[in-house]
Amino acid sequence: MTSDIGIIATGSYLPDRVVTNAEIAPAAGVDAAWIERKTGIRERRHAAPGQATSNLAAIAADRALLAAGLSPADVDHVVVATSTPDHPQPATASLVQHLIGARSASAVDVNAVCSGFVYALAMARGLVRDGGHALVIGADVYSRILDVRDRKTAILFGDGAGAVVLGAVPAGGGVIGTRLRGHGADHRLIGVRAGGSRVPASVRSVLDGEHYFRMDGRGVREFVSGHVPAAIAGTLRESGLPATAVDHLVPHQANGVMLRELGEALDLPNATLHLTVDRFANTGAASVPITLDAAHRAGALDVGDLVLLAGFGGGMNLGVGLCRWTAAPPRSGTAVRNHTSALSHG
């Protein structure tokens, strides 16, 4: 099945502050070399004190619009994938819509954790079938919910945002298909226990550390190896394309060592595996669009290439997307507005 809805531009934003392994290793009880050996990560970015998820998302959105040659007035929908929203409510997408000045656009959040961007892409594809443009953004600020003493999580995550503009593309290009699957029986593998209706935030929940992100790393690795290859194979089968047709694999940047093992297991002989995890670590829902933007701006993606996106994470959720690449080479220049302090209090 082909589609005339596709990615016409990309953009991303990483905070200025670079945090090396040496900086975070002591609190986690490990050394810098151990982190790189176990994860493939050398450094990550952390948001500045005045930056929240919406601020990062807005800058990435502006950069994607600049690359597309569009203005905020051209945006009909803003879909933000995040599991670290500015607040429980309103939606972070509403704040982004306000920050970028897309006054006529709808705004909605998607929380499928690290697979959220692919979920958001699938939703936005439906929203623009009858015309218009959608901004699809993945953004997370994980540094605010990490226990620096927990080596299972503190060493893995960073902050960032990535965005794409979705709209009409020439026939035969664009998003060919998506495959979304939930495995709720495994929901305990990843999560933040407190802060919702089941365990409301309280002095006790903070003292007990229940507001921190926790993860069963071994369980997650087993989930990925057990489910991701089958999901990718199913997506290709439904699209009528052989594995040899895939030119690029852009996965969620969970762990560099795990991703290289996954790449070998997938049997995509002609696909280039794109990784940014060494520089930016795991940026949650932002990792797929950040890596996609990095590949695009490096000139690695040619019009007509077949790009496979693979997200996986808390829930547990899986999202696979298959795209025939249609974005033109990025326009020169990245000057955008600074949204760091424009919305400090909502």
pLDDT digits (tens, 9 = 90+) for 193-230: 999 999 999 999 999 999 999 999 999 999 999 999 99
* Mean confidence (pLDDT) of the chain: 93
pLDDT for 172 equals 87
Confidence check: pLDDT of 35 > 50: yes
| Residues with active-site annotation | 114, 252, 282
Residues 55, 11, 233: CA angle, nearest 5 degrees: 115
**Count of CB atoms within 10 A of residue 25's CB?**
18
What is the chain's alpha carbon radius of gyration, rounded to the nearest angstrom?
Answer: 19
pLDDT score recorded for residue 333: 52
- pLDDT value at 346 more than 50: no
What is the C-alpha to C-alpha distance for residues 59 and 57, in angstroms, rounded to an integer? 6
Which of the four pLDDT bands, split at 50, 70 and 90, describes residue 74? very high
**Is 344's pLDDT higher than 90?**
no
Res 345: pLDDT: 35
Name which of 175, 111, 180, 177 is nearest 318 in CA terms: 180
Query: Is the peptide bond between 329 and the residue preceding it cis, with omega within 30 degrees of 0?
Result: no
Residue pLDDT, tens place only, 273-313: 999 999 999 999 999 999 999 999 999 999 999 999 999 99
**Whole-number Å distance between alpha carbons of 322 and 207:** 44
Percent of the chain residues topping a pLDDT of 90: 91
User: What per-residue confidence (pLDDT) applies to 2?
Assistant: 40
Q: Which amino acid is at 245?
A: A
- Quote the percentage of the chain above a pLDDT of 70: 95
Kindly tell me if the per-residue pLDDT of 342 is higher than 50: no
What's the rounded Cα separation, in Å, for the pair 246 and 321? 12
For the stretch 130-162, pLDDT in tens is 999 999 999 999 999 999 999 999 999 999 999
Residues 244-272: pLDDT tens digits?
A: 999 999 999 999 999 999 999 998 999 99
Q: How far apart are CA 325 and CA 295, in angstroms?
A: 12
Give the Cα separation of 208 and 140 in Å (integer).
24
State the average pLDDT over residues 31-38.
97
Residue with tokens 């829902």: 285
For residue 4, give the 3-state DSSP assignment: coil
- Concatenated DSSP letters for 183-236? -GGGGGGEEE-SSSSSS---HHHHHTTTTSEEE-HHHHHHHHHHHHHHHHHHHH
pLDDT of residue 330: 75
Determine how β-strand 159-168 pairs with β-strand 134-141: antiparallel
Give the pLDDT of residue 338: 58
**pLDDT greater than 70 at residue 26:** yes
The neighbouring-strand residues paired with 210 are: none
Average pLDDT over residues 21-25: 97
pLDDT score for 136: 98
Handedness of CA 167, 172, 175, 180 (dihedral sign): positive
* pTM of the predicted structure, to 2 decimals: 0.94
Angle (CA) 214-147-315 rounded to 5° is 20
* Residue 306: strand pairing partners: 324
Per-residue pLDDT, averaged over 55-74, amounts to 98
d(CA 153, CA 142): 10
Contact 14, 55 (CB under 8 A): no
pLDDT given at position 336: 53
Residue (of 86, 29, 26, 83) closest to 58 by Cα position: 86
**Locus of tokens 């151990």:** 34
The residue to which tokens 């997938």 are assigned: 266
CB crowding 75-104: b at 16 or more within 10 Å, else e? bbbbbbbbbbbbeeeebbbbbbbbbbebee
- The answer to whether 62 touches 11, Cβ cutoff 8 Å, is yes
Residues 28, 335: Cα–Cα separation, whole Å: 37
Handedness of CA 238, 242, 245, 249 (dihedral sign): positive
